[in-house]
Amino acid sequence: MAAYYQLLNREQHSDGSCTASYLSNIHAQGAWNPHEQHMAPATGVLCAELEQFQPRDEMRIGRVSLDIFGLIAFGEFTVHTRVIRAGKTIELIEAEMQANGKTCIVARAWKMMKQDTSAIAGLEDQSIVHPETLPIWDGMKCWPGGYIQSIETRAAEGHRAGKGIVWLHNDLDMVEAQETSSFVRLLGMVDTANGIVPRQNPASGWGFPNLDLQLHLHRLPQGKWLGLEATQQYGDDGIGLTSAVLHDEQGPFGRSEQILTLRKF
């Protein structure tokens, strides 16, 4: 099966940290710049590193916070993963992507102790229409790049600029010759939320790239389809916000936020 990345090397260090070297391919190519990676698969490969770093059966990742430091360079890069704050019930870990000697993305994840809370469980977000009932949507064709070409999209009725529901799916592994978990596969598409309900067409002369991606998960996702119930809002002083309720075929599992810098090109 084709993949977004190839693992070149992995080195465990005496302090418990780990450094992995990767090579991106055309499927990871960005939409704003052909010489950079798209933030969606970049999130996926960072989540893969966070997921497999010192795993503990009694804990799971509840939040991933990613800050984009600059160009996510295409080609070879490294991911250095380490513990920031160790603990028995909560633990903070970090994965830093570097390319050409520069930091591209810093991802931090809170690992949290699991326990049975079924007696008090309750959600306010509602399930959305399932993807198999929806037609294939070609609205992403306004975006260039290899990543966009790698995904299938289906949109619910009522989709418009600024608000809509879109399901996404891809058949690629995140890393060549490695099994891709639902956690990695679905979180590796969430950044697409910023492009599914744009208030401005990318050809309009306005750009709205995100500087971060915040992911909060009240349960772990399952399956291969990601549903994005997204809104995009622009302020009047150059800052915008893309927000989404995250769904799999079982229902809502979390939320995402992206802060945007609005710029006239």
Per DSSP, helices labelled H in the chain are 39-52, 146-150, 182-187, 193-196
127 contacts: CB under 8 Å, gap ≥ 6: 247, 251, 252
- What lies within 8 Å, CB to CB, of 133 at 6+ separation is none
- Tens of pLDDT, residue by residue over 38-73, are 999 999 999 999 999 999 999 999 999 999 999 999
Whose tokens are 């995904």? That residue is: 151
pLDDT at 6: 98
Question: Within a 13 Å sphere around the CA of 76, how many CA atoms are in the beta-carbon half?
Answer: 5
CB 60 within 8 A of CB 220: yes
How far apart (Å, rounded) are the C-alpha atoms in residues 210 and 44? Answer: 16
Percent of the chain predicted with pLDDT > 70 = 100
pLDDT digits (tens, 9 = 90+) for 149-177: 999 999 999 999 999 999 999 999 999 99
Residues paired with 165 in a beta bridge? 229
pLDDT of residue 138: 94
The pLDDT score that the predictor gives to residue 247 is 99
The full length of the chain comes to 265
Neighbours of 158 (CB within 10 A): 8
SS3 content of the chain, % helix, strand, coil (to 5): 15, 45, 35
- Residue 141, pLDDT > 90, answer no
Q: What pLDDT, on a 0 to 100 scale, did the predictor assign at position 265?
A: 86
Would the pLDDT of 1 be above 70? no
* Of the listed ranges 161-165, 200-204, 211-215, 240-244, the one predicted with least confidence: 200-204
Task: Report the alpha-carbon angle 223-226-230, nearest 5.
Answer: 160
Q: Are 181 and 214 in contact (CB under 8 A)?
A: no
The stretch 87-95 carries a mean pLDDT of 98
At residue 164, the pLDDT reads 98
Sorted by where each starts, the structural domains of the chain and their CATH numbers stand as: 3-114+130-264 (2.40.160.210)
Share of the chain above pLDDT 90, in %: 96
pLDDT above 80 (res 225): yes
pLDDT interval class at 32 (50, 70, 90):
confident
Residue 195 neighbours by CB under 8 Å, 6+ apart = 31, 140, 143, 148, 202
Mean pLDDT on 178-191:
98
What would the mean pLDDT of 79-92 be, rounded to a whole number? Answer: 98
